[in-house]
Chain A
Amino acid sequence: MTQKKTYFLNMGPAHPAMHGVIRLVLELEGETIVSTEVEIGYLHRAFEKHAETETWNNVIPYTDRLNYVSPLINNSGFCGAVEGLAGVTIPERGQYLRVIASEISRVADHLTCIGANAMELGAMTPFLYLMEGREYLYQLIDDLCGARVTTDYTRIGGVKGDLPEGFIDKCRGVFPKIRKLVADSEALLTKNRIFLDRVEGVGVLSQADALAYGITGPFLRSTGVAYDVRRAHPYLVYDRLDFEVPVGSRGDNLDRYLVRLAEIEQSLRILEQCFAQLPGGPVSLTPWEMRDAFIFEDMGKAGNTALLSRCLAKTCRTIDGGGRDKAAGIRVAAPALVMPPKEETYGNIEGLMNQFETVMWSWGVRVPVGEAYHAVEGGNGELGFHVVSDGSDRAYRVRCRPPCLFIMAALPKLLNGGYVADVVATFGSVNMIAGELDR
């Protein structure tokens, strides 16, 4: 009587697929996977520990690097948690800007996921098409935030800077191109026999299992549950925006691909609505005199505060801080949390002290004692931040609830019983981001 012997295949941490570092130990019987063990932690960068040692605003660059394909969503999530703790609501324009930034980031996330997934299955062309689409978005993000990937755009109490000149027109010019590229990639993939054979019916997770594992996001929606944090717990201005939540039915790789594809279109819809609804803007120039911000300092030193009080600081629209004309729209007027506008900084001593206090180490932004949890809809699901403050200048504890940790915990269920070749297809469709998984 021959015994079936199993052997172990290590799909080691240096992963050929461009998803970062994760280790799968597969027990194989021939080509069929009998059991899987997932080992993570190869990109543990101590986010939660660093958040305890940095001041409140200094944590935001660390949040960029959590889900690094959609960094603006992480920024918004963290700042939302801290603002919930402080009990402030940022001004409307600032909320719209955060939504615009988040949705652009979400489109970039989905483009990357679909492109990388397709490339791993052998379809190189959709990858290049979608990377071109992502390149347009990176240029937009570059104009908005100053950086392409690690953006650090939001601040406690608002956003860093306003939209640059002509941003909305540029976006409107880019969206048809992205739609065309997505349509081209869809034409190459969705009805493609090879692609369908590899992803249809592969990597199936039932709805009950997905809920039991706490999975959220496109993964859960592909199993049929229409849970979207933007709908269930509306934050920022999502309750004023009209968008659909695409839902799949089978919970296989194909459904996840289709859900993400549909979400790209919904995100572009949200962006167009935001551009139409965007309130206010920098206040018009007359009758204030515009002077360069650095002139303010000289005027203040010379004691010419009377002149200062009738001028507006001319600052670049995207710069951190900025003049009074812009500050009201994008940052909440809470002296303990945000930097004052330049007219206040150079114009009176309270403003100057406020400016120093917000940036000095061991002074800084002050958030009241307490704990808060705020969740946003990340690219992979509910991205939650649990923030604990003890009233000092830095966070006491920041916990990031990573959506893809739960998907990785359920990965054995997805892979067992399938073939080794399906591992690549399934792994690509779950959009594991190691920065978020290991923090």
Chain B
Amino acid sequence: MRFETRTVASAQAFDTLRQLKTGDYNVLIDLTAVDYFLYGKCPEPVGWEQNFPSGACGIGSPAGAGRTDFLAAGAPGPRAHRYEVVYRLASLDPATGLEIKPRLELRVPYSEGSVLLSVMSLWPNADWLEREVWDMFGIKFADRPDIKRLLLYEEFVGHPLRKDYPVKKRQPLIGPKSGELLGSPSFNVVRQETPFE
């Protein structure tokens, strides 16, 4: 899919988005974040470029035509900000069902301490999307009613999609406690303690 990418600092993000909304971008398709904490820190050497005749990163292929922003960054390297919040906008014409302007991907670099204003007042679906970003990444949006978790239970500690959260960590509300192995003696404790009849 062709789209344009723009980067804007977190202080100007809300104003930019408001201008875009008045400028025909009436649909917020998606709002998400990417944690670049471990980006490029993989031990394997890269040597795959010769396998892609259309060039690395898809330059020259139809799919690659719209993307320009990350190419300036080149190969993965250290970044100034740990997270990037990604807003995906579309300008949908209700009469024809086609899009008037090209899709837009707005990237907002974010670190702890940056202030990012909520866009709930512009697009109502941003409410849940921001709650999910808070739930998964711990990125808080200012200027909105209290943010609470969307997908995980309230007692959950941590933000799982951060790169430093292990996928197999256990935080059960009920059942064997966190970190216990299947064969451990306390595994069946719940079953024996609770009367079944």
- How long is the Cα–Cα vector from A40 to B29 in the complex, in angstroms? 20
A372 touches B56 (CB 8 A): no
- Is B140's CB within 8 Å of the partner chain A? no
Chain A interface residue count, Cβ-Cβ cutoff 8 angstroms: 65
CB–CB B56/A369 < 8 A: yes
- Give the one of B51, B105, B151, B165 with max A CB within 10 A: B151
Determine if A87 and B40 form an interchain contact, defined as CB atoms under 8 angstroms apart.
Answer: no
A285 to B97, CA, bound (A): 47
Beta-carbon contact of A366 and B48 below 8 Å: yes
Binds B, one of A146-154, A314-322, A391-399: A391-399
User: Counting chain B CB atoms within 10 Å of each CB, which of A40, A50, A211 scores highest?
Assistant: A211
- Does A401 count as interface, using CB distance less than 8 angstroms? yes
Q: Indicate whether A212 sits within 8 Å of B160 (C-beta atoms), given known contacts A336-B52, A368-B57.
A: no
What residues of chain A lie closer than 8 Å to B61, measured between beta carbons?
Answer: 87-89
What is the predominant secondary structure among interface residues of chain B facing chain A? loop
Supposing A390-B42, A399-B32 touch, asked if A211 and B27 sit within 8 A by C-beta, the answer is yes
Tell me the chain B residues, 1-26 only, with Cβ under 8 Å from chain A. 1-3, 26
Residues from chain B with a CB closer than 8 A to the CB of A388 are: 34
Q: Is A409 an interface residue (CB 8 A)?
A: yes
Other-chain residue from B38, B42, B70, B123 in contact with A391 (beta carbon distance below 8 A): B42
**A391 → chain B, closest Cβ, in Å?**
5
Q: How far is the CA of A382 from the CA of B27 in the complex (A)?
A: 12
* A227-B48 in contact (CB<8A): no
| A232 pairs with B124, CB closer than 8 A | no
* Known pairs A86-B52, A371-B67, A372-B63; A384 contacts B39 (CB<8 A): no
Q: How far apart are the CA atoms of A405 and B51 in the complex, in Å?
A: 38
Given contacts A87-B52, A335-B51, A391-B48, is CB(A212)–CB(B125) below 8 Å?
yes
B167 touches A49 (CB 8 A): yes
Closest to B39 in A: A390
Using CB atoms, name the residue of chain A closest to B57.
A370
Within 8 Å by CB of B97, from A53, A227, A362, A373, lies A227
Please tell me if B117 contacts chain A, counting CB pairs below 8 Å.
Answer: no
Query: Between A and B, how many residue pairs show CB distances below 8 Å?
Result: 173
CB distance from A28 to the nearest CB of B (A): 23
Query: B174 interface residue, CB < 8 Å from A?
Result: no
Q: Which residues of A contact B55 (CB under 8 A)?
A: 87
B125 and A213 form a contact (CB under 8 A): yes
Given contacts A49-B160, A334-B51, A386-B86, contact A225 B94 (CB under 8 A): yes
A84 lies within 8 A of chain B by Cβ: yes
Residue of A nearest to B40 (CB): A390
The chain B residue with its CB closest to the CB of A233 is B1
A393 to B96, CA, bound (A): 42
CB contact between B40 and one of A46, A366, A391 (< 8 Å): that residue: A391
How far apart are the CA atoms of A334 and B103 in the complex, in Å? 29
Does A224 belong to the interface (CB within 8 Å)?
yes
Interface residues of B in 28-71 (CB under 8 A from A): 28-30, 32, 34-35, 38-40, 42, 44, 46, 48-49, 51-52, 54-64, 67, 70-71
- B124 cross-chain contacts in A, Cβ below 8 A: 212-213, 409-410
- Residue B142 at the chain A interface, CB threshold 8 Å: no
Q: Mark B73-102, 1 if CB is under 8 A from A, else 0.
A: 001100000000010100010101111000
List residues of B (109-157) whose CB comes within 8 Å of A's CBs: 123-125, 127-129, 136, 149-153
Whether a CB of chain B sits under 8 angstroms from the CB of A207 is yes
Quick check: A368 and B44 within 8 Å, CB to CB?
no
Asked whether any CB of chain B lies closer than 8 Å to the CB of A44, the reply is: yes
* A41-B149, A224-B94, A232-B98 known; A336+B27 contact, CB < 8 A: no
| Contact A41 to B98, CB < 8 A, known contacts A84-B63, A399-B30, A401-B30 | no
Chain A residues positioned under 8 Å from B97 (CB to CB): 225-228, 231-232, 245, 247
**Which of B94, B103, B125, B165 is in CB contact (< 8 Å) with A409?**
B125
Q: Does A351 sit within 8 A of B, measured CB to CB?
A: no
B149, chain A: closest CB distance, angstroms? 7
Judged by a CB distance under 8 angstroms, whether A101 is at the interface is no
| B137 vs chain A, min Cβ distance (A) | 11
Alpha-carbon distance between A89 and B60 when the two chains are bound, in angstroms: 13
The 3 closest A-B pairs by CB, nearest first: A87-B58, A226-B97, A41-B151
15 pairs from A and B in contact (CB 8 Å cutoff): A41-B150, A87-B57, A87-B59, A211-B26, A213-B124, A214-B123, A224-B94, A369-B75, A384-B30, A391-B76, A392-B42, A397-B34, A399-B34, A401-B88, A406-B128
Residues of B whose CB lies within 8 Å of any CB of A are 1-3, 26-30, 32, 34-35, 38-40, 42, 44, 46, 48-49, 51-52, 54-64, 67, 70-71, 75-76, 86, 88, 92, 94, 96-99, 103, 105, 123-125, 127-129, 136, 149-153, 160-161, 165, 167
**Interface residues in chain A, defined as those with a beta carbon under 8 Å from any beta carbon in chain B:** 40-41, 44, 46, 48-50, 52-53, 83-89, 207, 211-214, 224-228, 231-233, 235, 245, 247, 334-336, 362-363, 366, 368-375, 382, 384, 386, 388, 390-393, 396-397, 399, 401, 405-406, 408-410, 438-439
